[in-house]
């Protein structure tokens, strides 16, 4: 005779309890494994001379508590971002003289500079807000801004009020903007007593990175420094996407003019794209190693000079 067994339904409460017990049992089974893995990981790190996870957490807690104490007890209010960025720079300074922190703003400016195009007035400015040069044909050049002019005011904002550690960045961000929009600069010029106000209409500016000794009558750079001795002169402001092509064109002009010697001016050049720097080096070296890079977690890269890349003349 077959028997039928009625199985009583499980109440929701009992179901939740059972599920909870299973979860706890699974957790108890997994924790020892996780602990073993963590211990093995820490042991491996110790052998490799690296701090364990626990040490890292303690160090981060030390930083966090120090930051909290400064924020809570320092006599003046603090700029959190500035303080954290200073701490980052301090860490990198401890490593060597070459490691450096680049902020998001600086990255943005770098990307814009290597693209060689932006909405602005077309001047190159030094950190002390003195105009290094107006770009040929730019709105600033047409408005009469000259090399050596000191910017003291932008759209009514006094340069003396800009943060000392961000003076140049602040000025540049105020001068850039939508093409067609005006911006008014207050400048001090040698030999002029009062501040000169100049309103410039922004435009899409194409930024050359290869410059000469002076502008010619055709508003083009003059690259021949000494016509008698046939000494050429080129200034590379930074290494951007078109720098090598611009330099090649300038050298072609100088060759036609009978150049016998060449001065390459790299003063105030902050760097830029490695690919452009190696192309330019290859113009003057016909063989041998130009540069190589080696990293802890990346493969070594090598750039050698080639005869076809060398400039002739």
Using pLDDT thresholds of 50, 70 and 90, give the confidence band for residue 35. Answer: very low
Using pLDDT thresholds of 50, 70 and 90, give the confidence band for residue 313. Answer: low
Q: What is the pLDDT of residue 228?
A: 95
DSSP assignment, residue 262?
E
3-state secondary structure 85-141: HHHHHHHHHHHCCCCCCCCHHHHHHHHHHHHCEEEECCEEECCCCEEEEECCCCHHH
Of 38 and 86, more confident: 86
Of 49 and 200, more confident: 200
Q: Where are the beta strands (DSSP E) in the chain?
A: 117-120, 123-125, 131-134, 150-154, 157-158, 182-188, 196-201, 203-206, 210-211, 214-215, 221-222, 224-226, 231-236, 261-265, 289-293, 301-304
Query: What is the average pLDDT score of the chain?
Result: 83
CATH number, domain 114-206 = 2.30.42.10
Q: What is the pLDDT of residue 80?
A: 92
pLDDT digits (tens, 9 = 90+) for 274-285: 999 999 999 999
Percent of the chain's residues with pLDDT above 70: 82
- From the list 221, 220, 224, 246, the residue with the least C-alpha distance to 233 is 224
**CA–CA gap between residue 183 and residue 200 (Å, rounded):** 5
Q: Mean pLDDT across the stretch 246-261?
A: 96
pLDDT digits (tens, 9 = 90+) for 159-193: 999 998 889 989 999 999 999 999 999 999 999 99
pTM of this structure: 0.61
Neighbour count for residue 43 (Cβ, 10 Å) = 11
Q: What is the pLDDT of residue 107?
A: 83
Q: What is the pLDDT of residue 26?
A: 39
Residue-range domain boundaries for the chain? 53-95, 114-206, 210-309
Asked whether the predicted pLDDT for residue 122 surpasses 60, the reply is yes
Asked whether the predicted pLDDT for residue 149 surpasses 90, the reply is yes
Assigned CATH topology for domain 210-309: 2-enoyl-CoA Hydratase; Chain A, domain 1 (3.90.226)
pLDDT digits (tens, 9 = 90+) for 195-242: 999 999 999 888 789 999 887 777 688 999 999 999 999 999 999 999
């Amino acid at each position: 005779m077959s028997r039928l067994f009625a199985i009583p339904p499980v109440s929701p409460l009992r179901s939740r309890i059972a599920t909870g017990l299973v979860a706890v049992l699974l957790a108890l089974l997994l924790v020892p494994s996780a602990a073993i893995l963590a211990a093995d990981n820490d042991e491996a790190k110790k052998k490799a001379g690296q701090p364990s996870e626990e040490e890292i957490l303690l160090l981060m807690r030390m930083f966090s508590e120090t930051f909290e104490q400064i924020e809570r007890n320092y006599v003046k209010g603090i700029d959190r971002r500035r303080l954290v960025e200073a701490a980052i720079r301090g860490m990198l300074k401890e490593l060597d003289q070459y490691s450096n922190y680049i902020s998001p703003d600086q990255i943005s400016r770098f990307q814009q500079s290597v693209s060689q195009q932006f909405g602005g007035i077309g001047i190159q400015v030094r950190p002390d807000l003195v105009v290094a040069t107006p770009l040929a044909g730019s709105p600033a050049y047409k408005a009469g801004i000259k090399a050596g002019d000191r910017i003291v005011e932008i759209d009514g904002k006094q340069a003396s009020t800009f943060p000392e550690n961000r003076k140049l960045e602040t000025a540049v961000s105020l001068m850039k903007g939508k093409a067609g929009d005006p911006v008014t600069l207050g400048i001090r010029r040698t030999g002029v007593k009062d501040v000169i106000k100049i309103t410039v209409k922004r435009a899409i500016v194409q930024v050359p990175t290869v410059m000469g000794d002076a502008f010619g009558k055709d508003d083009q750079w003059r690259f021949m420094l000494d016509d008698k001795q046939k000494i050429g002169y080129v200034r590379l402001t930074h290494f951007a996407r078109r720098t090598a092509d611009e330099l090649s064109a300038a050298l072609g002009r100088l060759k036609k003019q009978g150049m016998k010697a060449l001065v390459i001016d790299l003063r105030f050049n902050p760097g830029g794209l490695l690919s452009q720097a190696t192309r330019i080096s290859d113009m003057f070296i016909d063989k041998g190693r130009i540069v190589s890079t080696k990293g802890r977690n990346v493969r070594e890269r090598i750039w050698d000079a080639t005869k076809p890349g060398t400039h002739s003349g």
